[in-house]
Chain A
Amino acid sequence: MLPVDGIPTKEDILAKAPPAERMKKGAVAMIECWQEIPCNPCVVSCPTGAITMEKLTAIPQIDFDKCIGCALCVAACPGLAIALVDGSKEDGDRVSIPYEFPLPEVGETVDCLNHEGRVVCEGTIEKVVHLPAVNKKDKTPIVTIKVPKGYALQVRFFKRR
């Protein structure tokens, strides 16, 4: 449980997940920001105004229909709390995460880890892009992993072999 060990429960995760219909349309942001902390780069980075917040310490709210899956918020978030999930493709789901480690090769096979750090499936690195953080001075690598169908809500990290 989050307050005890930093691992979200299934309910925690589902509460942040985009509706299945939206995921079928293509990449969309899933914001796993749990606490009221003084922080807002996600709001400021979003070009479509999909993310809103009542005040600096509020939890960000997202309008999934406004989200165009551009991943700018993924690169901007200091908490590395945002992932893109995409259920639109037949050959598997896609998950895009910020990745501040030595970068994998496109096509590389990796072990995919869930919120607990447990290996849940095999994945393939599909894309590595570098997107500007909110101040534009810094770039964050965003890695897109192809995972088996149905794994988009679970996979949040990967281990190279």
Chain B
Amino acid sequence: MKRIENHPILTFKRGKKIKFYFEGKEMWGYEGDTIASALVANGVKVFRESLKLHRPRGFYCAIGNCSSCLMTVDGVPNVRTCITPLKEGMRVERIKGKGALHYEN
């Protein structure tokens, strides 16, 4: 769980630093990160719990196929964090149960 600094083939052009919150805790990522990549870089492994058995889940496919990485983002549940770009001030939380939509009416 670390940012790769020197790579023999790739150079990582990291954008500006972005502050976000995971379960209320302040964390930092870069422009160009997805929520999932920023969480992983900050050492977060458990993204949510499975519904019935409450088993820990992390990401699995990282390209939006499998739904292993669903989280609540700014109050919206079931966001695929592996394909959602990280934005300044985002509040990212582990989902409780299936999550609720909180429609206005």
Please determine if A and B sit in direct contact within the complex, based on CB atoms under 8 angstroms apart. Answer: yes
- Chain A contact residues, CB within 8 Å of chain B: 100-103, 141
Report the minimal beta-carbon distance from A120 to chain B, rounded to whole angstroms: 24
Interchain CA distance A102-B8 in the complex, whole Å: 6
Interface string of B5-33 (1 = CB under 8 A from A): 01011000000000000000000000000
Docked-complex contact B9 and A102, CB < 8 angstroms: no
| Least CB separation from A99: chain B residue | B8
Q: List 7 A-B contacts (CB under 8 A).
A: A100-B8, A100-B9, A101-B8, A102-B6, A102-B8, A103-B8, A141-B8
Interface range for B: under 10
Interchain CA distance A94-B22 in the complex, whole Å: 54
Report the minimal beta-carbon distance from B4 to chain A, rounded to whole angstroms: 12
| Least CB separation from B6: chain A residue | A102
- Chain B contact residues, CB within 8 Å of chain A: 6, 8-9
Residues of B within 8 A of A103 (CB): 8
Residues of A within 8 A of B9 (CB): 100
Residues of B within 8 A of A102 (CB): 6, 8
Residues of A within 8 A of B6 (CB): 102
Interchain CA distance A100-B9 in the complex, whole Å: 7
Interchain CA distance A102-B7 in the complex, whole Å: 7
Interchain CA distance A141-B8 in the complex, whole Å: 10
| Least CB separation from B7: chain A residue | A102
Interchain CA distance A141-B9 in the complex, whole Å: 10
Interchain CA distance A145-B32 in the complex, whole Å: 40
Report the minimal beta-carbon distance from B6 to chain A, rounded to whole angstroms: 6
Interchain CA distance A11-B9 in the complex, whole Å: 34
| Least CB separation from A100: chain B residue | B8
Report the minimal beta-carbon distance from A45 to chain B, rounded to whole angstroms: 19
Report the minimal beta-carbon distance from B5 to chain A, rounded to whole angstroms: 11
Report the minimal beta-carbon distance from A154 to chain B, rounded to whole angstroms: 24
Report the minimal beta-carbon distance from B49 to chain A, rounded to whole angstroms: 40
Interchain CA distance A141-B6 in the complex, whole Å: 16
Residues of B within 8 A of A100 (CB): 8-9
Report the minimal beta-carbon distance from B79 to chain A, rounded to whole angstroms: 37
Interchain CA distance A101-B9 in the complex, whole Å: 8
Interchain CA distance A58-B6 in the complex, whole Å: 37
Report the minimal beta-carbon distance from A130 to chain B, rounded to whole angstroms: 12
* Top-4 shortest CB links A-B: A100-B8, A101-B8, A102-B8, A102-B6
Interchain CA distance A101-B8 in the complex, whole Å: 5
Interchain CA distance A103-B8 in the complex, whole Å: 8
Report the minimal beta-carbon distance from A23 to chain B, rounded to whole angstroms: 30
| Least CB separation from B9: chain A residue | A100
